[in-house]
Amino acid sequence: MSTLVYDLAITPLLRTLKNFDAILGKAETLLEADPDIDEATLEQARLHPNMRPLVFQVRVATDTAKGAAARLAGRELPSWADDEASFSELHERVGKAVDFLSGFGPQDFTGAEDRPIELKLRHDTFHFNGRDYIAGFVLPNFYFHVTTAYNILRHNGVDIGKRDFLGKM
């Protein structure tokens, strides 16, 4: 079952993080090509005033991915500062998440489907088994934030499409 947990959680998280990094690269290309676009403005861009900005979406997507790997493997969750102020720093954060997840193999997830997971978010604490954590929190939350970041960038003129999101098939 450890291979199944790895295949259903870590593999798609890794793939999407790599695609996400390429999407951020396309945003940098736009910034280089159009000096009228301010990098800080794009990092703080939102789809709606009451939504969080691009930089927040990157942080939560990477936090969700690293949290999933650590919690499902029963390892300590690394803590990263939320202080990115440039696209190069956003790339570094995504790269750090890719590196962290790449350090796991299927053998690290033995028993993970039934492992008790406690997740503390702001004002609530949630309890899952590994299977419900993947299906009910990790994947929906991760894809929500990656998709929101994609939409912010697309809305702001970055030349990206579905193939960028999905990556090579």
Average pLDDT, the chain: 95
- 2: pLDDT strictly greater than 90: no
DSSP string, the chain: -HHHHIIIIIHHHHHHHHHHHHHHHHHHHHHHH-TTS-HHHHHT--SSTTSPPHHHHHHHHHHHHHHHHHHHHT-PPP-------SHHHHHHHHHHHHHHHHT--GGGGTTGGG-EEEEEETTEEEEEEHHHHIIIIIHHHHHHHHHHHHHHHHHTT----HHHHH---
Number of residues written out for the chain:
169
| Mean pLDDT across 105-112 | 95
The domain in which residue 141 lies consists of 2-166
% of the chain beyond a pLDDT of 70: 99
| Mean pLDDT across 152-166 | 96
Q: How many domains would you assign to the chain?
A: 1
Q: How confident is the model at residue 3 (pLDDT cuts 50, 70, 90)?
A: confident
- 169: pLDDT strictly greater than 90: no
Here the CATH number for the domain that contains residue 24 is 1.20.120.450
pLDDT tens-digit readout, 19-76: 999 999 999 999 999 999 999 999 999 999 999 999 999 999 999 999 999 999 999 9
**Contact status, residue 38 vs residue 32, Cβ threshold 8 Å:** no
